[in-house]
Amino acid sequence: MTSRPGPLDPTATFYVAGHTGLVGSAVARHLRDRGHTHVVGRSSAELDLRDREATFDFFAETRPRYVVVAAARVGGILANARHPVGFLSDNLRIQTNVLDAALEHRVERLLFLGSSCIYPKHAAQPIVEEALLTGPLEPTNDAYAIAKIAGIHQVQAVRREFGLPWIAAMPTNLYGPGDNFSPTTSHVLPAMIRRFDDAVTHASDHVVNWGTGTPRREFLHVDDLADACVLLLESYDADQHINVGWGQDVSIRQLSQMVADVVGYEGGVEWDTSRPDGTPRKVLDVTRLSTLGWRPRIPLEAGLRSTYAWYRDHAGAPRR
C-alpha cells in the first residue's frame, strides 16, 4: 500500500551518509538548494561506517530525523569482479550499522539506495520491481547485489516490525559531477570521458574500450536522481522498492561514440573482448515512479557535456 508521508521539515537534521560521493554530494546539494538548513555528513576518514560503535556514537550525538543511505563501497564491473569479498562485507557492514543505528533512534524517514544490479542477469526488459529474486544474478557483481538485496529486506523488516515509513530505491547506472574517473575502478561513462580526454590531450588516435560494446545500459544524471530521492522521501511509502531511471538505454558502442563526440576525439576505437561485458541489458521499468508524476530532466547528451566540463575543471585531480 502506498500512502503519502508529506513534506519534509527543512529545519530537521538530515544525515546524508556518503555525502562526499557522486550520489551523496548531489543529494546534499539538492537538499540545501531546497532550503534544508541542517544537512550533515561525515567522510569515511571522519567516520568509518564499518565501525559499529563509531556509527552508533555518531547517531547518538547527531540525532538525525531523516537519513539517505548513499554510503557504500562502489565500483565498476572490474572492481566488483576482482573484489567480491570487500563489496559484500564492507557493504553489509556499512548498511547494517547505519540502518540499526537509525532504528535505535527511530529515524522518521529513511531512503536506502540499492542498484539495478540486484535484478537477475536475464530479467525481462524493461525490468519491473517484481523481477527481484526471480533468477540468477550477473556473476561480475553478485556479491554487491546480495548486499544490496539484504539492505532492501532490512528496510522492509523495519517497516513490518516497527512501522517506520522507510523506503528503498534502485537507481540505474548514474553519472555526473563528482564521479569516480579512475581508469580501473570506475563505471563506463566516467572511464570513457577520461580515456578519450587523455587521447585528445596526448594526440593519440587509438583508444581501447572494454568488452564487445554490445551490452546496453541506461544512464541517469545524478542531479535527476537527487530530485527523485527527495520526491520519494516526501511522497512514497510502500514495502516495495522502487526503480529510478529513464526507461531508455543505449549500447556501450553508442555511448562510446557520444563521449568521443563530446570530447572531440576523432581517432579509432578498439574493443578488448578479454574484458567482461557483464549483464547484456539493464533498462528499468519506471512506471511506478512515473505514477508519482516524476520525470528525469537531463538528456544524456546534455548530461555528458556538463559532466565533461566538470571533469575538465577538475582535471588532474580525479577522485581515484
Ligand X SMILES: NC(=O)C1=CN([C@@H]2O[C@H](COP(=O)(O)OP(=O)(O)OC[C@H]3O[C@@H](n4cnc5c(N)ncnc54)[C@H](OP(=O)(O)O)[C@@H]3O)[C@@H](O)[C@H]2O)C=CC1
Ligand Y SMILES: C[C@H]1O[C@H](OP(=O)(O)OP(=O)(O)OC[C@H]2O[C@@H](n3cnc4c(=O)[nH]c(N)nc43)[C@H](O)[C@@H]2O)[C@@H](O)[C@@H](O)C1=O
* Contact residues for ligand Y, defined by CB under 6 A: 75-78, 80, 115, 117, 141, 144, 173, 186-188, 191, 209-211, 215, 217, 252, 275-279
Q: Which residue is nearest to ligand Y (CB)?
A: 76
For 91, the enclosing helix (H) or strand (E) is helix 84-104
Cα–Cα distance measured from residue 87 to residue 147, given in angstroms and rounded to the nearest whole number: 8
Residue 24 in contact with ligand X, rule: CB under 6 A:
yes
Cα–Cα distance measured from residue 118 to residue 244, given in angstroms and rounded to the nearest whole number: 13
**Annotation-wise, does 221 bind a ligand?**
no
For 90, the enclosing helix (H) or strand (E) is helix 84-104
Four-residue CA torsion sign, 113, 115, 118, 123: positive
Other beta carbons within 10 angstroms of residue 174's beta carbon come to 23
Residue 71 in contact with ligand X, rule: CB under 6 A:
yes
Instruction: Look at residue 277 and give the partner it binds from ligand X, ligand Y, none, a contact being a CB closer than 5 to 8 Å depending on partner kind.
Output: ligand Y
Report the chain's C-alpha Rg in angstroms: 19
Cα–Cα distance measured from residue 182 to residue 319, given in angstroms and rounded to the nearest whole number: 7
Least Å from the CB of residue 282 to ligand X: 10
Residue 44 in contact with ligand X, rule: CB under 6 A:
yes
Residue 217 in contact with ligand X, rule: CB under 6 A:
no
Residue with cell 544490479: 117
- The string of DSSP letters for 141-170 reads GHHHHHHHHHHHHHHHHHHHHH----EEEE
Cα–Cα distance measured from residue 97 to residue 251, given in angstroms and rounded to the nearest whole number: 37
- Provide the grid cell at 253: 558502442
**Annotation-wise, does 172 bind a ligand?**
yes
- The yes-or-no answer on residue 144 being catalytic is yes
Residue 167 in contact with ligand X, rule: CB under 6 A:
no
Q: Which of 198, 209, 192 is nearest to 258 (CA)?
A: 192
Instruction: Look at residue 24 and give the partner it binds from ligand Y, ligand X, none, a contact being a CB closer than 5 to 8 Å depending on partner kind.
Output: ligand X
Instruction: Look at residue 36 and give the partner it binds from ligand X, ligand Y, none, a contact being a CB closer than 5 to 8 Å depending on partner kind.
Output: none
- Provide the grid cell at 80: 566488483
**Annotation-wise, does 80 bind a ligand?**
no
Instruction: Look at residue 18 and give the partner it binds from ligand Y, ligand X, none, a contact being a CB closer than 5 to 8 Å depending on partner kind.
Output: ligand X
Instruction: Look at residue 77 and give the partner it binds from ligand X, ligand Y, none, a contact being a CB closer than 5 to 8 Å depending on partner kind.
Output: ligand Y
Per-residue contact flags (x/-) with ligand X for residues 79 to 98, judged by CB under 6 A: ---------------x----
Residue with cell 556514537: 57
Nearer to ligand X, 82 or 204 (CB): 82
Query: Where in the sequence numbering do the catalytic residues fall?
Result: 144
Task: Show binding-site residues for NADP(+).
Answer: 18-24, 113-116, 148, 171-174, 187
Residues found near ligand X in the complex (CB under 6 A): 18, 20-24, 43-44, 47-50, 70-74, 94, 113, 115, 171, 173-174, 180, 187
